Amino acid sequence: MRTSTTTTTILGATVLAALALTGCDGPAIGAQAECAQPTALSIVIGAHSNAAPALPAEVACMVRKTIEAGKPVSIIREDGAPSVIQAPRVYTIGEASKDNDINNAKITVNRTVSGIEANADGDNPLVALELAGRLTADTPDATIAVLTPGLSDQAPLDLTVPSLASADPKEVTAKLKTLKALPSLAGRIVHWYGLGDHHGTQPALTGPQRQNYQDIYTSILTTAGATITFHPGPASAGATPRPAGPRTIRPVPAAEQPTLDFPKAGGTQKAEGTRTFDNASSLGFLPDSTTFRDPGAAAATGAALAQWLSENPGSSLTVTGTTASAGTPEARGALALARAQAVCAQAVVAGADPARMFPAGESGNGFSGYVPDTLPDGTLDPVAAERNRTVVISFGPQRTQP
């Protein structure tokens, strides 16, 4: 089970002062924060946690302004089967008891949020977002505050599938659109807190992996008609621990970085062999480009290749880029070759002799190890397509440049 623990140091003095004002975990609603006035507010709370959820200061501000303006507030539990905890509610504010009524309403929201626990195994942000869209259907420009790591373990967006760590966001969105799985969010203003948080059994994600998940959600939400802002920091301002519940969630694996165990000569063994780098590795590329996802990691791998050539003077490298079947054969071949050349360039920068490296490109289904990546309707399967985007390095005897 993935769990989360956070500390009061997240918001520093703001949190500490707020606790004294509310009697609940998290900041006083609207204390020391600035925010826009929502026309309606729906809050999505990630429920898998061993710390009581609490609102970040900016979301607390949104709640206060929504209550004061007499606009509806709704709350959604996000787990494997997301559900509505509070339907859109407009809190009654009397003229004579205005301050007291507003304060009581804020306390009610805080307590509702802090008491949320998972009712179902798993994690399904897409369904939670769809619910938020429905609850705000009468107010298309409503604000949706999403407080969850967003590490879905449910189809059709199952981030536990390793290749989604580097899958093309546009391809993922296109598949969801084909499956009619995009949430209805036209006009909504989405604020997301804590995307990619890791706690408990959830390992830390790599920087490029976390960024790609953000890019995937950005593509999904903008295609669904929403505007999206991601906020750094944790999903919850809570610090009060509570026992982990019985509901579980599958951790999203961190993108694996292959060990640079290049072939070594010894006895009768020659320094020959093949190593394959997938698109989430140190030699992975951004979609449809020759830009490395992690330039620092790519440079380190290039330096290691240069070192291998230095230690094996009678050897050479063949670097082959491979692609998915998207696009024309000519475009695929050109991209595959350009990526291979980009890898060779990293080694040259580190001192390798370019005459001992041979870049090549294999596109579409023209290489060994190709996985069929086209769905029956003719669209690209983003999971299979990503498995076809690799860099294959063959270590062998010295060759002569053509």
Q: CATH number, domain at 161?
A: 3.40.50
Q: What is the pLDDT of residues 79-134, one digit of tens each?
A: 999 999 999 999 999 888 999 999 999 999 999 998 899 999 999 999 999 999 99
Query: Are 362 and 283 contained in the same domain?
Result: yes
Residue 173 token pair: 């969105």
Highest mean pLDDT of the ranges 3-17, 48-62, 89-103 = 89-103
pLDDT number for residue 348? 98
Query: Are 31 and 175 contained in the same domain?
Result: yes
Which run of H or E residues covers position 157? strand 157-158
Q: Which residues pair with 51 in a beta bridge?
A: 241
Beta strand 41-46 pairing with 73-78: parallel
Q: Give residues with Cβ within 8 angstroms of 27, minimum separation 6.
A: 11, 14, 15, 18, 19, 33, 54, 55, 56, 57, 60, 237
On whether residue 250 sits in a domain, the answer given is no
Of the three residues 231, 259, 294, the one that is the final residue of a domain is: 231
Neighbours of 394 (CB within 10 A): 16
DSSP 3-state assignment of 12? helix
Distance CA 59, CA 238 (A): 13
Helix axes 295-311, 329-349, angle to 10 degrees: 70
pLDDT number for residue 24? 44
Query: Are 208 and 300 contained in the same domain?
Result: no
Query: Are 37 and 158 contained in the same domain?
Result: yes
Q: CATH number, domain at 314?
A: 3.30.1330.60
- Look-up: residue for tokens 């209805």? 184
Q: Which domain holds residue 312?
A: 273-397
Q: What is the pLDDT of residues 319-377, one digit of tens each?
A: 999 999 988 999 999 999 999 999 999 999 999 999 999 999 987 677 888 999 998 88
Highest mean pLDDT of the ranges 50-64, 245-259, 271-285, 337-351 = 337-351
**How many structural domains does the chain have?**
2
Beta strand 189-193 pairing with 227-231: parallel
The single-letter DSSP state of residue 193 is E
- Look-up: residue for tokens 């609940």? 24
pTM beyond 0.75: the answer is yes
On whether residue 248 sits in a domain, the answer given is no
Contact 16, 54 (CB under 8 A): no
Q: Which residues pair with 321 in a beta bridge?
A: 361, 391
pLDDT number for residue 146? 97
On whether residue 359 sits in a domain, the answer given is yes
Q: Name the residue among 125, 135, 134 with its Cα closest to residue 80.
A: 125
Query: Are 290 and 224 contained in the same domain?
Result: no
